[in-house]
Amino acid sequence: MAATWSLNITTASAVATTLLGVIVGGLVSGRAQARHWTRDHEMEACALLLRESSNILIELAAMNGRRLHPPPGEIRPVPGLRSEIDWRPWNEALAMVNLIANDQVVQAAHLIDAEIWPVHLKIKAEMLQGDDWFPLRDQIEHRRHEFINVARRQLGATGRPLRRISGRPELNDPVWELRRPGRDSTE
């Protein structure tokens, strides 16, 4: 009888240990999958925000260029009227970051948005003169740079923060003297 008890206890212990291992493994695996899901979606949200901020910069530059150099025969928009820019993609990207990303990434995204607002309003109100655009664009780019480094740190990128986010030459670089003939230096 003692041998049967011993066999039953051993078998029950083995079953309990196996079940405990399965439960603990399931919990750990579930947590890891949730972390991966969150990280993947946060990465997608950050990439979308960067793509849309690039699109906004392109639109702002075009809007400012049309204001400074309207095509012949085109009627200039009246300041203060509806924007020429479709803000929906930008607002969707910002909302996605707000929903998914951690606080530091969200705050860095809001800093980009805070830089974009006054630039857009100044262009709409025709408050920019000639080369005023460049420092404003550079400040938005600076905020994008900060966002990228915050996002990289939060998403687990290894290595030092990025020193630059593009290869565009500085404003004082001689390459800018290679403009096409007949173009104004304010473009």
pLDDT at residue 187 is higher than 50: no
pLDDT at residue 131 is higher than 60: yes
Residue with the bigger pLDDT between 185 and 118: it is 118
pLDDT at 77: 62
Look at 8-17, 24-33, 38-47, 124-133 and tell me which has the smallest mean pLDDT. Answer: 24-33
Map out the domains of the chain as residue ranges. 37-165
pLDDT at residue 99 is higher than 80: yes
Average pLDDT over every residue of 71-87: 74
Tokens 């630039």, residue located: 119
pLDDT at residue 139 is higher than 80: yes
- Mean of pLDDT over the chain: 83
pLDDT at residue 44 is higher than 50: yes
pLDDT at residue 108 is higher than 70: yes
Number of neighbouring beta carbons within 10 Å of residue 120: 19
pLDDT at 110: 98
pLDDT at residue 128 is higher than 70: yes
Average pLDDT over every residue of 72-99: 83
pLDDT at residue 180 is higher than 60: no
Residue with the bigger pLDDT between 13 and 180: it is 13
